[in-house]
């Protein structure tokens, strides 16, 4: 087990809890009007990494006939939380801060090597995935995802409980397989993670980072 993953495991006893004050029930109509935000935790790449991923997968994306994901939207989803009341966003940022604090300050950030492209037929997506050389780092990132998910569930959120699979979606609405499943290796140093909002536009999903946290010196980015 890496120092990174060991720190997350050792910190499992440190959980975020916020007492829920007793209050009178609100009318159904008022609850229905409560503003929500569709959010998820993610590994969010910098511009250079986004460009590298888009360049390395461009041939396969073009050949698959699907809808390319814009370079600025490429990411790795750690935990999908769905629609969350806007008033509860601070709870999620508190959870993220506590999880980040469990990572040892001297731990080496995990490095993922994306060198494969897969067509996930059931989801109709084309995605970049990691190979065997990323096994150790993948375990660390999986531990991070599971820690965030566990803390979210403990706080009363309802995240997607499907097992974490490290991937970057590069095309959607892919109806056919492509033979161009090769890509040049792209190295991703996982220095931090973010809470991201997803909004739907005419051109597809639009993402914006709400807040981010470092996995290097445990300082907010």
Number of domains in the chain: 1
Give Cβ neighbours of residue 22 (< 8 Å, ≥ 6 apart).
Answer: none
- Residue 30 resides in a domain: no
Residue 134: what pLDDT?
A: 84
- Residue 66 resides in a domain: yes
- pLDDT tens-place string over residues 133-165: 788 899 999 999 999 999 999 999 999 999 999
Residue 201: what pLDDT?
A: 85
Residue 105: what pLDDT?
A: 73
Q: Is the pLDDT of residue 3 over 90?
A: no
Taking alpha carbons only, the member of 125, 116, 127, 129 closest to residue 176 is 125
Residue 66: CA count within 13 A, CB half-sphere: 27
| Average pLDDT of the chain, as a whole number | 87
**Which CATH number is 60's domain given?**
3.90.1140.10
What tokens appear for 171 in the block? 């095309």
DSSP alpha helices (H): ranges in 102-207? 135-154
**Do the Cβ atoms of 50 and 119 come closer than 8 Å?**
no
Residue 218: what pLDDT?
A: 43
- Residue 219 resides in a domain: no
> How long, in residues, is the chain?
221
Residue 42 structural domain: 36-214
- pLDDT tens-place string over residues 25-52: 455 555 568 899 999 999 999 999 999 9
pLDDT tier at 216 (50, 70, 90 boundaries)? confident
Give the predicted TM-score (pTM) of the model: 0.84
- Residue 11 resides in a domain: no
Coil, strand or helix at 17? coil
- Residue 117 resides in a domain: yes
Q: Is the pLDDT of residue 72 over 90?
A: yes
The DSSP call for residue 24 is P
Sheet holding 36-43, edge to edge: 76-85, 36-43, 192-201, 204-214
- Residue 22 resides in a domain: no
- Three-state SS sequence of 11-57: HHHCCCCCCCCCCCCCCHHHHHCCCEEEEEEEECCCHHHHHHHHHHH
- Residue 155 resides in a domain: yes
What tokens appear for 62 in the block? 């073009």
**Do the Cβ atoms of 6 and 94 come closer than 8 Å?**
no
Alpha-carbon distance of 2 to 111, in angstroms, equals: 12
* Mean pLDDT (whole number) for 160-179: 90
Give Cβ neighbours of residue 117 (< 8 Å, ≥ 6 apart).
Answer: 57, 60, 126, 127, 128, 129, 170, 180, 181, 182, 183
- Residue 159 resides in a domain: yes
């Amino acid at each position: 087990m890496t120092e990174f993953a060991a720190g997350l495991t050792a910190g499992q006893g440190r959980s975020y809890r916020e007492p829920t004050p007793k209050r009178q029930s609100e009318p159904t109509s008022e609850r229905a009007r409560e503003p929500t935000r569709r959010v998820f935790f993610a590994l969010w790449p910098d511009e250079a990494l986004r460009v590298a991923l888009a360049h390395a997968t461009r041939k396969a994306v073009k050949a698959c006939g699907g809808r390319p994901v814009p370079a600025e939207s490429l990411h790795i989803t750690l935990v999908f939380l769905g629609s969350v009341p806007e008033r509860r966003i601070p709870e999620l940022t508190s959870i993220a801060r506590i999880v980040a604090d469990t990572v040892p300050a001297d731990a080496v950030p995990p490095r993922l090597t994306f060198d494969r492209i897969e067509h996930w037929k059931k989801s109709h997506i084309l995605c970049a995935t990691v190979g065997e050389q990323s096994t150790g780092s993948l375990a660390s990132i999986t531990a991070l995802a599971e820690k965030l998910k566990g803390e979210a569930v403990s706080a009363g959120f309802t995240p997607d409980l499907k097992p974490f699979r490290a991937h970057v979606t590069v095309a959607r609405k892919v109806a056919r397989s492509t033979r161009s499943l090769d890509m040049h290796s792209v190295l991703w140093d996982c220095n931090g993670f973010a809470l991201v909002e997803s909004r739907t536009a005419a051109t597809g999903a639009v993402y914006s980072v709400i807040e981010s946290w470092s996995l290097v010196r445990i300082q907010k980015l």
